[in-house]
Amino acid sequence: MRPTVPYLDESPLARETFARASVLYTDLDGTLVAKGGSVLADAEGAPSVVTAEAIVALNRAGLDVVPVSGRNRLQLRELTQLLGWNAYIAEAGAIIVRGTDLDAEVLLDTGDWPAGMLAEGTTPFAAITASGAYEALTAAFPGRIEHFAPWQLDREVTLLLRGCLDSAEAQAVLDDVEPPIDIVDNGQLRSYGTLTCRDMAPHAYHVVPRGVCKARAIELDLAARGLSREQAVAVGDSATDIEMASAVSAVVLVNNAFDSPGVLSELADRNTDTIFRTRGSRSDGWAEMARFWLTARGV
């Protein structure tokens, strides 16, 4: 049975919630950007300025938008600057940055790791790499997990992988690794790379310090801004994005999210009172959400 999630434009509660919101935490791939990775295209990748116009309208209204992505800091700094925003959360919640200049405020979150665990000059990424986590996964799941090339480069905290795994089974393998780490499913991919599995779609996975997640990063960012969760909303397309619901007052899923078995499973296991959906997919759905936000705010 498919979970019932109301459309934004049919929900008085959604309108009330967005009327209070002053900051939006947004996923990128599958959410803000169209097929092919552009904001100058509609959901199917045809040239369009609809999403760009929505971004400009939010910027003019003084509403803050914070990208939350598995991409690394260098990638997100460029994108955030290009879109006229001034904060972002990189590596699936592990890096929180406020500002896009060289003097930006940067927090590398190591989750539940105790203070002083890392040797001076050692990054969390180096510690995770040295732990043998990757080798343990490839030994347990041959042909089903690999580095997500070339996006695994220039990482500071998380190990980025592509694979066809049951997250719980993978976590059981990593539970024997030190320091303590988690595996986070960051959504479905289009390409298998060199994987030999074909019984499920490939996914992006982040191996992170235990406790690191998008919701925790949002909580830390809101605290730094002096805002409450009632003043924040989020938008995404994956099961990991739904988990942001614990840190904000509402999560919006763009329509293509409902093509994902992982999303449907996540929705079936939680209260969906503060989860809404758009009629449009990908960038079209994002622009729809932005217009709804502006209207709710009376802009």
C-beta atoms surrounding 260 within 10 Å: 19
How would you label 64-88 residue by residue, b for 16+ Cβ within 10 Å and e otherwise?
bbbbbbbbbbebbbebbeebebebb
> Is the pLDDT assigned to residue 2 strictly greater than 70?
no
Separation between Cα atoms, residue 87 and residue 250, nearest integer Å: 20
- Per-residue pLDDT averaged across 232-259, rounded? 95
Cα–Cα distances in Å, from 158 out to 37, 108, 215, 284? 22, 11, 16, 30
- Per-residue pLDDT averaged across 142-171, rounded? 95
pLDDT value for 190: 85
Q: pLDDT band for position 100 (50/70/90)?
A: confident
- Per-residue pLDDT averaged across 46-62, rounded? 97
CA-based nearest residue to 29, from 190, 223, 155: 190
pLDDT digits (tens, 9 = 90+) for 257-274: 999 888 998 999 888 899
Mean of pLDDT over the chain: 94
- Per-residue pLDDT averaged across 54-71, rounded? 97
Is the model more confident about 97 or about 270?
97
> Is the pLDDT assigned to residue 255 strictly greater than 80?
yes
> Is the pLDDT assigned to residue 56 strictly greater than 80?
yes
The three-state secondary structure class of 185 is strand
pLDDT value for 13: 96
Separation between Cα atoms, residue 61 and residue 84, nearest integer Å: 12
DSSP assignment letter at 204: E
Amino acid letter at 242? Answer: I
- Per-residue pLDDT averaged across 207-230, rounded? 96
- Give the rounded distance of the alpha carbon of 228 from its chain centre: 20
> Is the pLDDT assigned to residue 62 strictly greater than 70?
yes
| Token pair in block for residue 209 | 């310090």
- Per-residue pLDDT averaged across 159-187, rounded? 95
> Is the pLDDT assigned to residue 3 strictly greater than 80?
no
Is the model more confident about 265 or about 88?
88
- Per-residue pLDDT averaged across 38-66, rounded? 96
Q: Are strands 250-253 and 275-277 parallel, antiparallel or unpaired?
A: parallel
CA-based nearest residue to 184, from 139, 141, 238: 238
Helix (H) or strand (E) holding 87: strand 87-90
Cβ atoms 100, 77 nearer than 8 A: yes
The three-state secondary structure class of 216 is helix
In the chain, the largest separation of any two C-alpha atoms, in whole Å, equals 56
- Per-residue pLDDT averaged across 70-74, rounded? 93
Overall pTM surpassing 0.75 (yes/no): yes
Amino acid letter at 190? Answer: R
pLDDT value for 4: 86
